[in-house]
Amino acid sequence: MKFAVDRRRFLTLAAAAAAMPMAARHGAAAEPFNFQASWINDAEFTGYFIALDKGYYAEEGLDVTYFSGGPDVIPESTLIAGKADLTLTTPDTTIKAIADQGAPFRIIGAQYQKNPIGIVSLASNPINSPEDLVGKTLAVPPVNIISVEAMLKTSGVDRSKINIVPYAYDPTPLIKGEIDASVDFTTNVPYTIEQAGAEAVSFLLYDFGFTIFNDTVVVTEDALKNNRKNITGFLRASRKGWNDNFEDPSVWPPKFADSWFKGTGRSIENELYFNRAQQPLMEHPDGIFAMSEESIEANIEALNAVGIAAKREHFDTSVLEDIG
Amino acid sequence: MTDRAGIRISRVSRVFEGRGATVQALDDVSLECPAGSFTALIGPSGCGKSTMLRLALGLDHPNDGEIRIGGLEPLAAARQGLTGVAFQDAALMPWRTVEDNIMLPLDVLDKKRGAFRAKVDELVDMVGLSGFEKALPGELSGGMRQRAAIARALVTTPDVLFLDEPFGALDQILRRQMNIELQRIWMESNATTLLVTHGIDEAIFLADRVVVMQSRPGRIGQVIDIPFARPRQSAIFSDPQFHALEAEIAGALDGH
Amino acid sequence: MATETLASPRPVPRRRMAGQGRLGTLRNWGILLVLWEIVGRLRLVADGALPAPSAILQRLWIDWSDYPPHIWATIEGASIGFLIGNALAIAAGILFVLFPLTGRLARGINIALFALPPIALSPILVITFSGMTPRIILAAIGCYFITMSATVTGLSQTDRRAIDIVRAYGGNRWKVLRLAQLRSALPSILSGLRIAAPNAVLGAILAEFGGGGRFGLGVYLIGSLGRGEPDRLWGIGLAATLIAGLAYGLFSLIAARLTGASRAVTMPAAAPSEARAKGFLRETMIVLASIALPFLFWWVLLYAMGTPAMIAKTPPALFEYLFLSPQSATNLGKLAAALAQTLPMTIIGMAVGLAFAFALAIGSVLYPVIVRAFMPVALVTQTMPLVALTPLLVLMLGRGHSVILWITVSVTFFPAFVTMAQGLSLVSRAALDVPRAYGAGPLKQLRLVTIPASLPYVFASTRLAVPRALLGVMIAEWLATGKGLGNLLNQSRGYLDYGMIWAVAVVSVLLSVVFYQLVVLIENRVLSKRGMSPAQ
């Protein structure tokens, strides 16, 4: 079925267009910009917190509202509903929605050059490669089933020989040995396992053939056309935030203990581990958010292999080019 | 006040359709109770006497025929506060105190409670419930509950009084006392009264005439006038004429 | 005459028994706690995944500074939802009793609201509304059906004689409602509020869990889940239980004060209701309308809110998705396969859940002390978010049928139990006096009087259990087994497959409606044979 622009959104756009000359006249007034994160507040979003706190967005003339994510927040949906101007997504979901449902999304950047999702297991019962999974029980968040199946396919492992069960956010069954491995952010779970007194091993799906980005930066086609200036500003400021962060990944998380990380139930040590672990997955010679032609090609290939009709046109590198 | 409310039941029929079975509860029944008269309805169970009462109260509607209370539809009469009623079991609201139960008709009829204060006290005293004004029905004996129900029936000083075996739950001694009491009240109020009862002696003692009903289908068998002068004393219970009437009614009940 | 005062000697021994009972209950709670402590300390259950109470408290102490903003946020969402949901429910219940036609027409909408799986609803609410609104809505929906049913049950189970006496004085329907029905329905409404309270808390937490806010116990829970620390999760569950427990206790207290005075003094011998001759055409129209209304409501709501078409599937769009589009065959196939896995477990789970509720309700008459000791445990199962319990359950029960059964029973039995227990407690004293006079023991009294007399409540609780059972199975599938409708729903969320999300929601609602109607049919037959009227 075709995507239809709804009445309300159309009206909002019309109103925004009408208001534009006014905003130009006033010049300095910061423009509201809504950013929907893909998960609850943790180190995954440190760069944005820095950019907010240090006023990098304000320097771009943006008044950014930050929306935390969660399991029921489907980032792409917030774009369609007009609640957010820009969001972070997993590319397989986004491209599947574009290809199957004609959703008007464009991927304009990638936070993670390498998807941090991987297979985590205990060192006492290690799973170091897809082949080791045969005959084992693997917990997979239902959302990631496609990715796992893709990785198994490229590795030539028979899916039917693996007992796949749902993964419900809590690593306890893995720590207690009820399952042999689980699919999760390798930047995060190994820390928890170590805290519980065990040792973890992990490998990335990326390293076994599922070569996709993660936390891809997504906007609607409309916004890319009509709100380009602000989107560019947001990306430029965010990159500055991330650059600050990676100068020394140990500096920022403790500063957010009483603000961004307050009451999340997670520890600052955990965020520090996360922040250090994500650095190699994010950095790129062309800067944070870069999407090189080779990596776009790798994404398309990996997605095509699992039957998601990804195309080059789903990725738009023009904003990245603008910010240099 | 002879033009006060009387009861006129003309050619009333009522059929109940249960599952499969059809019961002719009343078949073409007519009965006239002149204003100020006291009529007792007596009959075997299932003869339709309770149905007749429910029809007269407007709780049920006849399939055929009509009923007038003081010339009005039963419900219209009730809304004007013409009627008072006491049911077979007390039907008190378990969460209301004795006093509040007695004043229930005032609440239904939107009458100011304050104006009836003295009346309520008098009634409580009359039915022997002094000291229990604030008690809940659950804390009373069956007889006490029944007396509260009588007081409730009288609180509006009704022109027409419907009594559905009001003393059924009382013992014989209490019942006689209540009968004498009721007669006194009735003579004072001069209300048109329709009493449904099982007790032959009660019917004779209280009523101007006794209507004997028969069942299947429910109909009026015989109407027997009671000639005793009022006020009747308890001595008449041992009067030979009283026994003769008892025998006559018993005979009518057996279908003779 | 004056000697014949307070005739019933019962109040005195009752009070004494109650005193003993309270002590006994406390003692049993103590035993339970000690047992739990031992089990937790010795890591007897699931290799220590069930922490000891002392460990939970210790952890709560350490985490305490985290809690206040979360607790306040949850209380705010839950209590606003509780107020709105219950106000609507009571108003609707009154409307349905005053004008029975409206009740029959709204039946489809009512069941749909009850049967809509929150896991399907939450993402849609989160997209459509912002801030506290999704939490309030989920909390309100959690209350609506239960309180509405309780209101209708209470109003329509009013003693006929109380209604007659008001009508005999010319009281109109409003007067009957005000003077007789509302007050006599109060215990029933209160027991509804009692079950609604934990539901409101859980509804708010569920919306917090997924909705991406900063504060609320649900937000704290999602952040804490990844840490693999059961004692923290139990602490959060405890806080949720405490909030719900306070509300539950409050309404229990009010109910206990009022129920004694509301209990009918004698057995109402209501005339068997007449079989009214009804037009077949009219009846069919009403049934059709009650089925069509939820669809219409759904359509109008989507239109009014202007939700984008990709997210919000209207009935025709869903029809196209399932029957007309090129992928229809695949979609239908997935749906059918999932249904085949979910349906049998739903029926079994419902049966077991009801049996347990019934046993518990009877137990509360026969062994009140033991059952009262169990109540905190029961309450924990109602307010402890299942997602926090899943690791423990999976470790204890595996990922097969037993975990589905466990979760299903735990979400089914509580409302059923409260409803049944209330039915048992409303049986009149006089009715019990007869078998008692013949020396019947408590068991015989139950068999001869209490159970038959409370049959309408048994059926009412069965009706409550139907959609809950389906929901329980779906949650278990989503969290533990990875099969059936629950899993399909969760996967579809990940793929932005909104067509499937709506399809699962509609199928689960339709299933509930079919089961519900089936129960109503059996209920009408059984009750009319016994000359009773259904509790709605």
Can you give the CATH number for the domain in which B35 is found? 3.40.50
C-alpha span between B79 and A102 (Å, rounded):
69
β-sheet bridge partners, residue B22: B17
CB contact under 8 A, C310 and A3: yes
- Residue entry with tokens 């920022």: A252
Nearest CA distance, C478 vs chain A (angstrom): 7
C-alpha span between B11 and B68 (Å, rounded):
12
Up-side HSE of residue B188: CA atoms within 13 Å toward CB? Answer: 8
Contacts of C274 in chain B (CB under 8 A): 16-18
The pLDDT value given to residue C278: 60
Is the per-residue pLDDT at B205 higher than 90? yes
Per the domain annotation, does B139 fall within a domain? no
Domain of B1 in residue numbering reads as 1-82+204-256
C-alpha span between C16 and C452 (Å, rounded):
29
C-alpha span between A24 and C428 (Å, rounded):
78
C-alpha span between A282 and A239 (Å, rounded):
11
Task: Count the residues in chain B.
Answer: 256
CB contact under 8 A, C168 and B95: no
Closest residue in A to C312 (Cα–Cα): A81
**CA distance to A119, A177, A180, A306, per residue, from A132 (Å):** 11, 16, 10, 21
Q: Which of C166, C368, C159 is nearest to C267 (CA)?
A: C159
Contacts of C394 in chain A (CB under 8 A): 173, 178
C-alpha span between C407 and C480 (Å, rounded):
10
Closest CB from C183, C261, C274 relative to B16: C274
Is A7-114+212-323 a domain of CATH 3.40.190.10? Answer: yes
C-alpha span between B7 and A186 (Å, rounded):
91
C-alpha span between C439 and A177 (Å, rounded):
58
- Residue entry with tokens 């075997």: B44
Tell whether A72 lies on the interface with C, counting CB pairs under 8 A. Answer: yes
Return the partners of chain B (3 or more C-beta pairs < 8 Å): C
pLDDT band at B2 (very low <50, low <70, confident <90, very high): very low
- Residue entry with tokens 């009829």: B109
- Which pLDDT tens digits describe chain C residue by residue (536 residues)? 333 333 333 333 344 444 556 777 788 888 888 998 998 888 887 777 888 999 999 999 999 989 999 999 999 999 999 999 999 999 999 999 999 899 989 988 998 888 888 877 888 888 888 889 999 999 999 999 989 988 998 898 888 888 888 988 888 888 999 998 998 888 889 888 988 988 899 899 989 988 888 899 999 998 888 888 888 988 998 898 889 888 888 888 888 777 665 555 544 444 434 444 467 788 888 888 888 898 898 888 888 887 778 788 889 999 999 999 888 999 999 999 999 999 999 999 999 999 999 888 888 878 877 777 787 788 778 777 887 888 888 888 888 899 999 999 988 888 888 888 877 877 766 677 777 777 777 777 777 777 787 888 888 888 878 888 998 899 899 888 889 999 998 888 777 788 898 899 889 888 888 888 888 888 888 887 776 766 54
Q: Which residues contact A62 (CB under 8 A, 6 or more apart)?
A: A30, A31, A32, A33, A230, A233, A234, A237
**CA distance to A8, A189, A198, C461, per residue, from A271 (Å):** 40, 11, 19, 48
Listed in sequence order, the DSSP H helices in C263-327 are: 280-305, 315-319
Nearest CA distance, A319 vs chain C (angstrom): 26
Please give the interface size between B and C, counted as residue pairs whose CB atoms are below 8 Å apart. 103
CB contact under 8 A, A77 and C479: no
Per the domain annotation, does B168 fall within a domain? no
C-alpha span between B114 and C440 (Å, rounded):
49
The pLDDT value given to residue A37: 95
Q: How many distinct structural domains can be found in chain B? A: 1
Contacts of B90 in chain C (CB under 8 A): 265
β-sheet bridge partners, residue B225: B209
Q: Which residues contact C530 (CB under 8 A, 6 or more apart)?
A: C452, C455
Residue boundaries of the structural domains of chain A = 7-114+212-323, 117-208
CB contact under 8 A, C165 and B104: yes
Nearest CA distance, A77 vs chain C (angstrom): 7
- Residue entry with tokens 């009836």: B116
CB contact under 8 A, B138 and C265: yes
pLDDT 10s digits, A74-129: 899 899 988 999 999 999 889 988 998 889 999 999 999 999 999 999 999 999 99
Is the dihedral angle over the CA atoms C361, C363, C366, C372 positive or is it negative? Answer: negative
Per the domain annotation, does B26 fall within a domain? yes
Two tokens at C423? Answer: 């039915």
Sequential DSSP letters for C61-111: HHHGGGHHHHHHHHHHHHHHHHHHHHHHHHHHHHHHHHSHHHHHHHHHHHH
C-alpha span between A228 and A238 (Å, rounded):
15
Is the dihedral angle over the CA atoms A66, A71, A73, A76 positive or is it negative? Answer: positive
The pLDDT value given to residue B145: 87
Listed in sequence order, the DSSP H helices in C446-496 are: 451-453, 455-476, 484-494
Characterize the bridge pairing of strands B64-69 and B83-86: unpaired
C-alpha span between C288 and B216 (Å, rounded):
42
CB contact under 8 A, C395 and A178: yes
Is the per-residue pLDDT at A7 higher than 70? no
Q: Which residues contact C416 (CB under 8 A, 6 or more apart)?
A: C353, C354, C357, C358, C461, C462, C464, C465
Closest residue in C to B96 (Cα–Cα): C261
Two tokens at B230? Answer: 């009022």
Please give the interface size between A and C, counted as residue pairs whose CB atoms are below 8 Å apart. 190
Is the dihedral angle over the CA atoms A260, A263, A267, A268 positive or is it negative? Answer: positive
pLDDT band at B256 (very low <50, low <70, confident <90, very high): low
The answer to whether C202 and C237 have CB atoms below 8 angstroms apart is: no
H/E stretch holding A310:
none
Return the partners of chain A (3 or more C-beta pairs < 8 Å): C
The answer to whether B83 and C168 have CB atoms below 8 angstroms apart is: yes
CB contact under 8 A, C494 and A8: no
Q: Which of A175, A75, A159 is nearest to A124 (CA)?
A: A175
Name the CATH architecture for the domain at A117-208.
Answer: 3-Layer(aba) Sandwich (3.40)
Contacts of C179 in chain B (CB under 8 A): 93, 104, 107-108
CB contact under 8 A, C228 and A192: yes
Per the domain annotation, does B227 fall within a domain? yes
Q: Which of C8, C159, C165, C524 to mutate to test the interface with B (most CBs of B within 10 A)?
A: C165
Tell whether A193 lies on the interface with C, counting CB pairs under 8 A. Answer: yes
Closest CB from A171, A189, A263 relative to C69: A263
Q: Which of B126, A246, A196 is nearest to C1 (CA)?
A: B126
Closest CB from A37, A143, A171 relative to C494: A143
The pLDDT value given to residue C263: 55
Is the per-residue pLDDT at B139 higher than 80? yes
Closest residue in A to C65 (Cα–Cα): A263
Residue type, position A290, single letter: A
Give all domains of chain C, ordered by start, each with its CATH number.
46-261 (1.10.3720.10), 314-536 (1.10.3720.10)
List the 203-242 stretch of A: residues with Cβ below 8 A of C.
none
CB-count exposure of residue B111 (10 Å: 0-12, 13-18, 19+): middle
Closest residue in B to C269 (Cα–Cα): B89
C-alpha span between A314 and A104 (Å, rounded):
9
CB-count exposure of residue C516 (10 Å: 0-12, 13-18, 19+): buried
Tell whether A192 lies on the interface with C, counting CB pairs under 8 A. Answer: yes
Closest CB from A40, A145, A170 relative to C391: A170
Contacts of B58 in chain C (CB under 8 A): 167-168, 170
Nearest CA distance, C187 vs chain B (angstrom): 11
Tell whether A197 lies on the interface with C, counting CB pairs under 8 A. Answer: no
A175/C25: higher pLDDT:
A175
Nearest CA distance, A195 vs chain C (angstrom): 9
The answer to whether C270 and C533 have CB atoms below 8 angstroms apart is: yes
Contacts of C171 in chain B (CB under 8 A): 108
Residues on chain C bordering chain B, Cβ-to-Cβ distance under 8 angstroms: 1-2, 4-8, 159, 161-162, 164-171, 175, 179-180, 183-184, 258, 260-266, 272, 274-275, 277, 429, 528
Give the other-Cβ count within 10 Å of C352's Cβ.
17
The pLDDT value given to residue A2: 40
Q: Which residues contact C277 (CB under 8 A, 6 or more apart)?
A: B17
